[in-house]
Structure 1
Amino acid sequence: MSYKNSLPSLERRVRRLAVRQGLNLLTPQKPTKQVLAHGGYMLRDVASFAIVFGDADYQFSATLDEVEEFLLKQIEQPEE
């Protein structure tokens, strides 16, 4: 059995990507039904504590895959 693509492994990989960009990966302490249905993650800027991704319609609205995609796009096209 491969643990390379297990949820904890993916979370660690995404968390490391976020830290390199000065962001924290956040998960809810008490997820709502909406969060459990879709989402569960947000990104917060370490310096300003501003939410930068994952609060579009409700808090923790991003999936882990969406967060990873967002972070990879930031690496490819850094803000000027």
Structure 2
Amino acid sequence: MSQKSSTPSRERRIKRICVRQGLHLMTAQKPDKQVLAHGGYMLRDAETMAIVLGDKGYLFSADLDDVEAYLDALE
């Protein structure tokens, strides 16, 4: 299975985990070249609205692997 076809299912699974952890998975709606090269995602705390991942250097700097690693570290 190609990476492109698995991305939507990965996003859905990650969103479910985020809800359990009190987080929102945010995606770049209009990604620029930097975001397209690496990233496209941020995690935000649902209660405080603080960005907890994906704002280092530029907004939406995390990719799905970064998000999964962060969530794995929480569990």
TM-score (norm 2): 0.91
Q: Which amino acid aligns with 1:25?
A: L
Any unmatched runs of 5+ in structure 1?
76-80
1:33 shift after superposition: 0.6
1:28 shift after superposition: 1.1
Q: Which amino acid aligns with 1:18?
A: C
The residue that corresponds to 2:25 in the other structure is: 25
The residue that corresponds to 1:38 in the other structure is: 38
Identity fraction in percent? 62
TM-score (norm 1): 0.85
State how far apart, in whole Å, the 2-side matches of 1:27 and 1:66 are: 13
State how far apart, in whole Å, the 2-side matches of 1:62 and 1:28 are: 10
- SS of alignment partner, residue 62 of structure 1: coil
1:64 shift after superposition: 0.4
Aligned-residue RMSD, C-alpha: 1.6
Segments of 4+ moved more than 4 angstroms: none
Q: Which amino acid aligns with 1:24?
A: H
1:61 shift after superposition: 0.2
- Higher Rg of the two aligned structures: 1
Any unmatched runs of 5+ in structure 2?
none
- The structure with the greater share of residues assigned to helix is 2
